[in-house]
Amino acid sequence: MTVKYVSTRGRAPILDFGDVLLAGLAADGGLYVPDRWPVLSTHALSGSPGLGDYADLAAEVMWPFVDGAYPRARFDELVRNAYAGFAHPDVAPMAELGDGLWLMELFHGPTLAFKDIALQVVGRLFDEELARRGERVTIVGATSGDTGSAAIEAVRDRENIEIVVLHPHGRISEVQRRQMTTVGSANVHNVAVEGTFDDCQDLVKAMFADAAFRARHRLSAVNSINWARVMAQTVYYVAAVTRYGLEQVSFSVPTGNFGNVLAGHAARQMGLAIDRFIVASNRNDILTQFFTTGTMAVSEVHPTLSPSMDIQVSSNLERLLFELLDRNGIRTGQILADFRATGEMQIDARVAAELDRGWSGVRVDDAETTATIAGLYRDTGMIIDPHTAVGLAAARRSRPGSNGPMVVLATAHPAKFGEAVEAAIGVRPPMPAALAELAGRPERCERLPNDLSALKAHVARCSALGSG
Ligand SMILES: *Cc1c(COP(=O)(O)O)cnc(C)c1O
């Protein structure tokens, strides 16, 4: 039976994969989730000898979510192409740090951060679906740094797609900015918003909430609310467990919008034996509050050394909440509306107890982040980026008592955050050639105020470009 998709707020139409892929956000403001969790095939769980390489595993794990949307052979081919450009043959290799602690490197894609793993697949699926329908879309997204360049790399020069990416002006690293603004493709449009990442995200949400505008310009999203991204990210959790023969493993996941760790949750729901998720946050610790006390209160966003995690309201938490509330969309919608209105949320004791069994929240500040980068370099010579360091510090703090294996997800190449790394270890991490080349290239970017009507006017102009 084919998987269908329902909204976490219970008032949007039930859709097939192709529609969910193009829609992004649901019409009721909710996020799409599969109507049930498919069970991982024994083939997917058999590990590398039985299955071939990462692309084979990826196609096998994702297939139940897309079954009916593509012929299997075509889907396999799209997935294979998506991973062909990765710099490491294993796509997501692991290194053991000792004592059952592992580092899984998710940054071997074209923009050197983990988001490539999903977006290289999603860009191809978009293209395929649009071509099949004879349609075009304008993708609009907000980025706190890495999503934007990964989305741009995934769709640049595609015929049926314009892409508009908002980033908070002056709040992303220079390398991150250049990775986006130096792309010369005519279908790529960068916007620097005078505000925070949450402001950017609010602008995008407000624009999507205007149904007429959204329909007129065929708006679509590929940020981490898009189900297809979560789907593609489930694969490396399966790879970590099956290829390295780990049992009752826990994952420490440096978290911002909660998309990465939610994919782990999906893998666990599909039958993968995972013990705990360590939700690792920087000083922006609203999730730490949530996982330790069952309450959340919004405060302002603080800039940190791990900017891709400088987020207060993590969109993808809604998907977990929906399940914790027994998939009651109306109730989920109410709680989120109250949260929006009051800035506070409290879940009941039963739900909190359920969370306690499989989740921990850990906060790591900048000083500990820096000390973690320095300590690992001193002890092993390995260089990690600040996001990964938050994950590693959280993993170490969560481990006394439980000696099962733990995998830290390394989400960015250290050279993307060279200044913070240099401040910690005294040397600049070696810059891969692909990044070094960006320095001399011209940049293209429009600076706009934090204002919805200015943004809409700009998006309308961009979306008109390709259709002429
Ligand atoms: C996006 C990002 C994160 C946070 O991932 P979420 O899916 O938003 O939780 C962590 N580290 C890096 C380097 C990122 O780019």
How many A from CA of 257 to the centre of ligand 1? 7
Selecting among 115, 205, 416, 456, the annotated active-site residue is: 115
How many A from CA of 266 to the centre of ligand 1? 17
DSSP 430: P
- The predicted structure's pLDDT at residue 88: 94
Q: How many helices (H) and strands (E) does the chain have?
A: 21, 15
Check if 224 has its Cβ closer than 6 Å to any atom of ligand 1.
Answer: yes
Q: Residue 396's closest CA among 355, 364, 356?
A: 364
pLDDT digits (tens, 9 = 90+) for 8-51: 999 999 999 999 998 878 989 999 999 999 999 988 888 755 56
Distance from C-alpha of 311 to C-alpha of 201, rounded to nearest angstrom:
10
Check if 308 has its Cβ closer than 6 Å to any atom of ligand 1.
Answer: yes
How many A from CA of 144 to the centre of ligand 1? 9
CB 309 within 8 A of CB 298: no
User: CA angle at residue 305 from 148 to 86, to 5 degrees?
Assistant: 45
**Helices of type H across 270-348:** 286-293, 317-324, 329-342
For residue 416, give the ligand 1 atom closest to its CA.
Answer: 13
**pLDDT under 50: residue ranges of the chain:** 468
How many A from CA of 246 to the centre of ligand 1? 24
Q: Give the H or E element holding residue 450.
A: none
In the chain, the amino acid numbered 243 is R
Check if 264 has its Cβ closer than 6 Å to any atom of ligand 1.
Answer: no
pLDDT digits (tens, 9 = 90+) for 393-415: 999 999 865 678 999 999 999 99
- The predicted structure's pLDDT at residue 467: 57
Distance from C-alpha of 237 to C-alpha of 57, rounded to nearest angstrom:
11
Domains observed in the chain? 94-111+230-425 (3.40.50.1100)
CB 438 within 8 A of CB 179: yes
- The predicted structure's pLDDT at residue 342: 95
The percent helix, strand, coil of the chain (3-state, each to 5) is 50, 15, 35
DSSP 100: T
- The predicted structure's pLDDT at residue 468: 47
CB 92 within 8 A of CB 85: no
Check if 310 has its Cβ closer than 6 Å to any atom of ligand 1.
Answer: no
In the chain, the amino acid numbered 222 is V
- Alpha carbon nearest to ligand 1 atom 1, residue: 308
Does residue 4 carry a catalytic annotation? no
Check if 256 has its Cβ closer than 6 Å to any atom of ligand 1.
Answer: yes
